[in-house]
Amino acid sequence: MTNVNNQRPLYERPILETAFYPSYKHLIQNDQYEEWGGYTTLASFASEGQEYFSVRNACGVYDICPMLKYRISGSDAERFLNRLMTRNIKKMLPDRVVYCVWCDDNGHLIEDGTLFKFSETEFRLCCAEHQIEWLLDSAIGYDVDIEDVSTDIAALAAQGPVSCSVLKKMGFSGVDNLKPFQLAVFSQLGFDVMISRTGFTGDLGYELWVNSSDAAALWEALFEAGKSRGIRMIGSTALDMLRIEAGLIMVDVEFMSCFHTVRHLREKNPFELGLHWLVDFNKGPFIGRQALLKAKQNKPQRQLVGLDIDWNKQADSALIYDSKDCSRQIGEITSALWSPVLKQNIALAFLDAPFYEGNKSMWAEVYLHRECLWERKVFECRVTPKPFYSPERKSLTPPEDL
């Protein structure tokens, strides 16, 4: 199968199709297209509710081809990455994946992403925004090769309680031995499939990586194996619900990369996002270290927290106040969800100090559009730990055979 639209000149068709698009095109029922990173993607294929539950209940598949993938190799690869990332990369074992963030010299967050280690000299960085300039410029003086392999590699996320069983059925024997954040290469399909036990849903799940030329064959095999196990393609609406329940942050929602912030002080550092655990000051020099050391001396003025909100109306974009009369704003909600699995009204929110700590009472001002009339409601809410949802199966190895 070929991507017909990709053959058209840029000025006629600025948006590309992913390597899997021809495979799942026939499943698109309601034309909820959404552009992501210059690619045609779907907000939902048929029903976002069903797609959401496929991940919490069976196996949902999300096309992650638009993610950026950088091959970082060479004798200084590890040294280079250790200086780039705030985490200690030297502690990484081969065939492992870590979640990491990287900052500029001011300690401002550039992006978050996952780093795959194949060997001391071979890594892959996967993230949502283009980084090639930053990577190349940071590599001055290091013996390292950096290559954008985004279009060479196609990837699917297969997530949910039966995902492991589906992969086993595909012939990937031993896949159940993968621990969270571990990876292995399987060749049972006649081509190499790199499988990592990673995802963006907070559930048991895997990401499958192949050469783009093998994309169609992988998709066919996956859906053939999963068809009796409730496998479904899912769109970004369902994914967003899942990642909020998992308490995972999203670029351009919880933070804006300092590559794009125009206004002063809109940048964020890892501490403000509650990512203290990703910053290792004992590992030696890294970009932004001095600024972050300074930032660490004081508590952040604002921090991202989880909120539990009374009532059942999703509090999208709500402002948070310290009292019910809404006189003093102390924060705002970045992502909100009525959680179908928790039956709880949850949100990620930035709160000013000291409200992000302890159990101070606060109120969310919510505007509800009901039958063409806007109503203003004020709901009490409280800080609650993240992740909101974390099933045991997420970390169980081997996973339950379903």
Partner 1 sequence: MKKQQYDAVIVGAGHNGLVAACYLQRAGLKVLVLEKNPHIGGATTSISRYENFTYSNCSYVYSLFRQEIARELELYKFGLQVIPYEGGAQIIKNADGSYDSMGTYWHGDANRREVERFNKRDATAMERLDRDIVRQCKFIKPLLMRTPPDPTSFKPRDLMELLYLGQRFYGIGKQRMHETLRFYTMSVADYLNEYLENDALKSYLAGGATVGTALGVYSPGTAYVLLHHAMGDIDGTVGAWGFPRGGMGSVSKALNDSFIASGGTVRVDAGVSDFIVEKGKVKGVKLESGESLSANLVVSGMDVRRTFNAIDPNELPKWVIERAKHFRFRGSSGKINIALDSLPSFKGIPANSPCMTGDIHISQSMDELELAYDDWKAGKWSQKPYLDILIPSLIDPTMVPEGKHWMSVFVQYCPYKLAEGEWNETRKQAFGQHIVDRIARYSPDFKDKILHMEIRTPKDIENETGMSEGNIFQGELTMDQLIFNRPIPGYAQYRSPIAGLYMCGSSNHPGGGVMGAPGANAAREVLLDLGKGK
Which residues lie near partner 1 (CB under 8 A)? 9-12, 14-15, 35, 37-38, 106, 130-134, 136, 148, 259-265
Report the SS3 class of residue 137: helix
- State in angstroms the smallest separation of the CB of 8 from partner 1: 11
Element (H, E) at 54: helix 48-57
Half-sphere exposure of residue 249: CA atoms within 13 angstroms, side-chain side: 26
Name the residue nearer to partner 1 (CB basis): 90 or 266: 266
Name the residue nearer to partner 1 (CB basis): 21 or 134: 134
Name the residue nearer to partner 1 (CB basis): 12 or 392: 12
- State in angstroms the smallest separation of the CB of 108 from partner 1: 10
Name the residue nearer to partner 1 (CB basis): 16 or 97: 16
Yes or no: say if 283 and 90 are a contact pair by the CB < 8 Å rule: yes
Yes or no: say if 338 and 309 are a contact pair by the CB < 8 Å rule: no
Contacts of residue 331, defined as CB under 8 A and 6 or more positions apart, other chains included, come to 302, 319, 320, 349, 350, 351, 352, 355, 356, 362
Name the residue nearer to partner 1 (CB basis): 13 or 79: 13
- State in angstroms the smallest separation of the CB of 165 from partner 1: 37
- State in angstroms the smallest separation of the CB of 57 from partner 1: 34
Q: In angstroms, how far is CA 190 from the centroid of its own chain?
A: 30
- State in angstroms the smallest separation of the CB of 38 from partner 1: 3
Question: Which token pair is 60?
Answer: 């949902």
252 burial type by CB count under 10 A (0-12 exposed, 13-18 middle, 19+ buried): exposed
Name the residue nearer to partner 1 (CB basis): 114 or 257: 257
- State in angstroms the smallest separation of the CB of 260 from partner 1: 6
